[in-house]
Every structure is written in structure tokens, then in C-alpha cells.
Amino acid sequence: MSTFVLFFGGYRATTTDMKVWESSAKAQKSDVEFCAVPWPSGAASDARSAVSTFTKMGLDKSMIAAIQASNADKIYLVGHSSGCAIANAVDHDLKDHAKVVLVALDGFVPNRKQLMRQSTQVWAAECGTVKSKNYRHLKHAVGSRLRIYTATNCKTLWALHFSLVNSAASDKVVKSIRDGYSRCRANLVWL
């Protein structure tokens, strides 16, 4: 079974961040096609700005075209943090969801129709008693459907938030958004 993954990085995720994540993901799963998309330049961290900027750049159409052109048996649309808004928007614009798995990693919640699909995944993280940045909001929105990644050495806000995309994240390595992909080992727990 062939698999295609479109990964949308969160606020301020750079092209370099996405290349590092994509390279790590490919090294782990060489039989999967990965495409990692950076944060749209000039967009604020909110959903409206993210989707609007992404659309103005024409990236929504190119992502839809890539999905429609794919011969993969399964297609994952994965968003991290604010990148979930873009993944949700691209998913919303698709006409056929038969092969699509929408994945939200500690970010914006998929809409009601998207959540009705059993394949949709919503993730947060915890490390001991510490919960990830958007854990409480996601738990309230999806209840028992919330999937939990158990991180280690990630008790700070950014380390735990990025543990969902970088399993090498730790309090020593990830101190801010800029460090999120440092020493990146792509976390593919959802795959």
C-alpha cells in the first residue's frame, strides 16, 4: 500500500525546518512519500491569517493538485500547531476523502464534518503531569477521541508542544519556537 504525507509546519516553521523534518521522516519510512510545507511568509499565527495568506500565495490550489495527482492508496494531511488550520482548509476543499487521513497535532481542531470521519486523528502530548500547549482545548473539543503522545524530558511549553513533530525534543534542546526542529527526529506516531 502506497502512502503520501503532506505535512504543514506551524507558525514560523521555515523551509529549512521542513527540509530537516522531511529528511528525518524519509530516513525512517523510505517507502512513504513525504512533502513538508513551511509556514506561509507574512502570516500571523491565527487560523484566518494562515489560511488567507496560504490561499493568496496559490498554495492551496497546488496542494489540491498534488493530492489529486497522487496515486497513493492513503494520503495523510498533517498539521502541527497553527499549521492545522492549513491542513484543515486543504482537507475541506477536497471533494473526495476516501483515501484521506486528517491529522491535527496539538493545534486547531478539525471541523465537525471532518471529525465525523473515523480516520481523522487529533493528538496532544503529555510528560508526567504536564500537558501540551493545546491539550485542554483539544480534550474539550474531541473528548475521548484525543490521542496522547507520551513524551520524555519535555516539561516546558515548547519542548512538549514540539515533541509531537520531533521525538528528539527535550527541555534542553527546545527552548523556543525557533528550536522546535533542532536535532530533529520526525515523530511519526500518527502514521
138-152 confidence digits (pLDDT tens)? 999 999 999 999 999
Q: Contact 182/158 with Cβ under 8 angstroms?
A: no
Q: What is the pLDDT of residue 162?
A: 99
Residue 118 lies in a domain: yes
* Residue 124: band (very low, low, confident or very high) from pLDDT cuts 50, 70, 90: very high
Residue 167 lies in a domain: yes
* Residue 119: band (very low, low, confident or very high) from pLDDT cuts 50, 70, 90: very high
Residue 186 lies in a domain: no
Please give the residue range of the domain that contains residue 91.
3-179
Share of the chain above pLDDT 70, in %: 100
Average pLDDT over residues 52-74: 96
Residue 60 lies in a domain: yes
Interior/surface letters 119-138, b for 16+ CB within 10 angstroms, e for the rest? ebbbbbbbbeeebbbbbeeb
Residue 190 lies in a domain: no
Number of domains in the chain: 1
Average pLDDT over residues 114-127: 99
Average pLDDT over residues 66-75: 97
Q: SS3 of 159, please?
A: helix
With a threshold of 0.85, does the pTM exceed it? yes
CATH number, domain of 110, equals 3.40.50.1820
Q: What is the pLDDT of residue 174?
A: 98
Average pLDDT over residues 37-58: 97
Residue 143 lies in a domain: yes
Q: What is the pLDDT of residue 5?
A: 99
Residue 191 lies in a domain: no
> Cα(191)–Cα(119) distance, rounded to whole angstroms?
11
Average pLDDT over residues 83-104: 98
